[in-house]
Amino acid sequence: MIVDEDEHRGVFTRRALMIMGGQATVLGLLAAKMYRVQVAEGARYTTLAENNRISARLIAPPRGPILDRSGTVLAGNNLNWRALLLAEQTQDVSATLDNFSRIVSLPDHERLRVEREVAHHRSFLPILVREFLSWDDMAKIEANSPDLPGIMVDLGTSRLYPFGARFAHVVGYVAPPSEKDMGDDAMLALPGFRVGRAGMEKSQDFRLRGKAGVVQLEVNAAGRVIREIGRNEGAPGQELGLTIDAELQKAVLARFGDESASAVVMDCRNGEVLAMATNPSFDPSVFASGVSQAQWDALNENRRKPLINKAVSGLYAPGSTFKMAVALAALEAGTLTPADRINCPGHLDVGDTRFHCWRKRGHGRLDLHGALKHSCDVFFYQVALRTGIDRIAAMSHRLGMGTHLDLDLPGQRAGLVPTRFWRLRHGKLWNRGDTIVSGIGQGYIQVTPLQLATYAARIASGRAVVPHLTRTLDNVVQPGAQPEHWPELGLQETNLHAVRHGMWAVVNEGGGTAPIARLPGAQLAGKTGSSQVHRVSRAAREHGFDSSKLPWHLRPHALFVAYAPYNAPRYALAVVIEHGNAGAKAAAPVARDIMRDTLARDPARLQHAPGAHMAEG
């Protein structure tokens, strides 16, 4: 068959055109795709590519410092050399840890933690092995680096408490976060990060933490770091200024000696807490570095309870320090006047029960001034019966006892000043005997030293001052610095004067129960108290019972509340000596010395410019 050459050429041309058309179509589609990727959506794909190349990781910020009212550092930061493990850089984590423990001690519980974190974290994430390395430890690690694949030495910060145990209960301490703490907050998983566990470290934890920084790292497809590209250090924690005066706090603790005791000193005009001391105490740094089981057991088994902030968590019957509250309740209710006289034969018989006065022979006929001065129990038994427990409780709450004071410190307990309704809720009726013993601050009544100091401050100022510990926050002085910031109690001035003058007589008039508390050149008004922790039988009393001969843990607590100067009140305080036996002998001289130091130092005048703190001197 003969094919026409022109027809053959035509078929070839059509095929070539079809192929060329197909190629042009494909090239057009590719060009359109490339235009969309490189031009129309070029910015988005560039960003995606950068995100695949750059890994952002958090940097732990330095924790904010805690300062006293003059700028002295109570909690700061120290450089902390630590050993980290990068699991991807060792073929045998267990062997590396074996070698490490032969060079630097690694307790078993710490090794278990490291192994647990290795199992749960990606291999290129650093894991903390040991903190607080000494220079010798670092030298040993560097010298033995060939035998420690994956181990690197890193520089971080750790919490520093320059005064050790002296401020542990107020400042608190930090500790490693638990798994429950971490939640979705990636910053808490950073090596060496700490969270507040007690005191102001806990209550202001989020402000003190700061904001994490970010380091940008170039990584490969597997996520391994190639180099650092950029760094943002984040924001350090905020400075926290307290109302506490460091020098006064040190003086208070020195005065305690070996006593198990607590004391609170307040500015009675505005509620600033100038000293809050509890003895014995503990070293807060042991929690930052990791407390051992032996240390924990020793702290918990100590019968003097060093871990408890007794100033806000210790509950005590106020004893005779409560008598001013009973007097004010009666005066305001009209069941007593300052001139009323009540006879004290040394006891009060109600039914077949005899309630004793502390003075076996009695005090004879007394008015309110004399009853406070001599601390007559029978007088206040009678006044309590006239007034009733509900009125007494209402006045006590008004004066700051048996109620939550909303102090910016965790662990505060509200205590109790009972009412008839409270007793009924517990399945029993209130009786006359309950009222009688409440009249001298015994029975169900429980208060804290902080409440007693607030009570003294409110009597002195006539205002509902509330104790607070924070002086500056966010570099701003907190409200409450002036007396007019606090409302008046609404009590009659004549009634307040009668009670204040009775407190003055306790110390400054002949026959008062606390002449030992007199301050030359500055008149102090105060009140003694002893609160029983062990019931004394009638037979024991009649045979000359002496509580000082009881075992230590059965002796009464010794209390004293006071304010000074009498004519222009500036400072109020409360002292509790656990099992000190007698307030006049044990607590009053301690309170006197504390008030003398307070007046001499006059901490209320001390100012601190936020943002300019001083190191410990």
The greatest distance separating any two alpha carbons of the chain, rounded to the nearest whole angstrom, comes to 155
Which of 19-33, 417-431, 548-562, 577-591 comes out lowest in average pLDDT? Answer: 19-33
Asked whether residue 261 carries a pLDDT value surpassing 90, the answer given is: yes
109 pLDDT above the threshold of 70:
yes
- Reduced to 3 states (helix: H, G, I; strand: E, B; else coil), residue 260 is coil
Q: Is the pLDDT of residue 422 over 70?
A: yes
Tokens of 200: 């102001």
Length of the chain measured in residues:
617
| Burial class of residue 346, CB neighbours in 10 A (0-12, 13-18, 19+) | middle
The residue with tokens 């420690």 is: 148
Rounded Cα distance between 492 and 284, Å, is 46
User: Is 277's pLDDT higher than 90?
Assistant: yes
Confidence of residue 617 (pLDDT cuts 50, 70, 90): very low
Task: Please name which of 357, 335, 449 lies closest in space to residue 401, comparing C-alpha atoms.
Answer: 449
What's the confidence (pLDDT) of residue 86? 82
pLDDT at 102 > cutoff 80: yes
Q: Assign 213 a pLDDT band (cuts: 50, 70, 90).
A: confident
Q: Which residue has the tokens 């901490």?
A: 603
85: exposed, middle or buried (Cβ count in 10 Å: 0-12, 13-18, 19+): buried
Tokens of 366: 């007394």
CATH code reported for the domain at 252-286+302-605? 3.40.710.10
CB 211 within 8 A of CB 234: yes
Residue recorded with tokens 């509790």 = 576
The one-letter amino acid code at 271 reads: G
With a pLDDT cut of 70, the percent of the chain lying above it is 84
Residue 601 CB contacts under 8 Å (≥ 6 apart), including other chains: 245, 247, 248, 251
Q: Do domains 60-242 and 252-286+302-605 have the same CATH topology?
A: no
**For 331-355, how does the pLDDT look when each residue is reduced to its tens digit (9 = 90+)?**
999 999 999 999 999 999 999 999 9
Show me where the domains of the chain are located.
Answer: 60-242, 252-286+302-605
Residue with tokens 């060079």: 103
Q: What is the pLDDT of residue 613?
A: 56
Q: Which residue has the higher pLDDT, 547 or 539?
A: 547
Nearest to 402 by CA among 414, 413, 391: 414
- Quick check: 358 pLDDT over 50? yes
Q: In 3D, which of 536, 527, 535, 505 has the Cα closest to residue 587?
A: 527
Stretch 544-568: mean pLDDT:
90
Tokens read off for 486: 């606090």
Closest CA to 240 of 271, 203, 276: 203
Tokens 């006892």 belong to 401
Distance CA 307, CA 279 (A): 10
Is 260 or 82 the better-scoring residue by pLDDT?
A: 260
Tokens of 233: 């250090």
Per the CATH hierarchy, to which homologous superfamily does domain 60-242 belong?
Penicillin-binding protein 2a (Domain 2) (3.90.1310.10)
Residue 430 has pLDDT above 90, yes or no: yes
pLDDT of residue 537: 58
* Cβ contacts of 34 within 8 Å, gap of 6 or more: none
Helix 389-398 × helix 377-387 angle, to 10°: 100
Mean pLDDT of the chain: 87
With contact defined as beta carbons under 8 Å apart, do 566 and 523 qualify? yes
Half-sphere exposure of 244 (CA within 13 A, CB side): 31
